[in-house]
């Protein structure tokens, strides 16, 4: 019998990722998925980055976000989702006056990320959020 993997808030507290952004990882022991919940203050979000070969879906749970994907900008409000294709350069920011709450799902248990402002440095999203390792 397979035991389900349960994540409770007390098991995965919100962690400050960068100024104005807090993150909680869910499904930490999943084999093929990474699920990340985020809260962003107005104007804050994720700078331009790529996850290389990994697709990502972000759902806006509350608030409004402005996403950019390879030069195309989309505004997504509460209840909406955006699919970020593999190999794209993308990012987002809170486009509203209230806190932005999102849920992201990656098609990898430990997706890699490279930020535009830090080329050649690759991070792995894991239980400690971003852990530096050698670039590809």
In a domain, 65, yes or no: yes
Question: Where does residue 40 rank: exposed (0-12), middle (13-18), buried (19+ CB within 10 A)?
Answer: buried
Q: Nearest-5° angle of CA 90, CA 93, CA 97?
A: 165
pTM, rounded to two decimals: 0.88
* Residue 30 pLDDT: 83
In a domain, 119, yes or no: yes
Range of the domain at 23: 15-133
Chain centroid to CA 17? 11
Q: CA 102 to CA 79: how far, in whole Å?
A: 10
In a domain, 33, yes or no: yes
In a domain, 1, yes or no: no
* Residue 127 pLDDT: 55
10-residue mean pLDDT profile of the chain (136 residues): values are: 72 87 86 93 97 97 98 97 97 98 95 92 72 48
Minimal CA–CA distance to 94: which of 75, 117, 80, 79?
A: 75
Quote the number of domains for the chain.
Answer: 1
């Amino acid at each position: 019998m397979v035991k389900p993997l349960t994540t409770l808030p007390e098991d995965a507290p919100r962690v400050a990722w960068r100024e104005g952004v807090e993150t909680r990882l869910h499904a930490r022991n999943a084999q093929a998925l990474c699920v990340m919940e985020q809260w962003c203050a107005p104007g804050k979000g994720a700078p331009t980055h790529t996850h290389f070969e990994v697709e990502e879906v972000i759902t806006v749970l509350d608030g409004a976000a402005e996403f950019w994907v390879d030069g195309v900008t989309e505004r997504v409000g509460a209840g909406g989702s955006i699919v970020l294709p593999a190999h794209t350069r993308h990012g987002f920011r809170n486009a509203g006056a209230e806190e932005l709450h999102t849920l992201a799902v990656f098609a990898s248990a430990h997706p890699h990320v490279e930020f535009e402002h830090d080329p050649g440095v690759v991070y792995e999203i894991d239980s400690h959020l971003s852990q530096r390792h050698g670039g590809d």
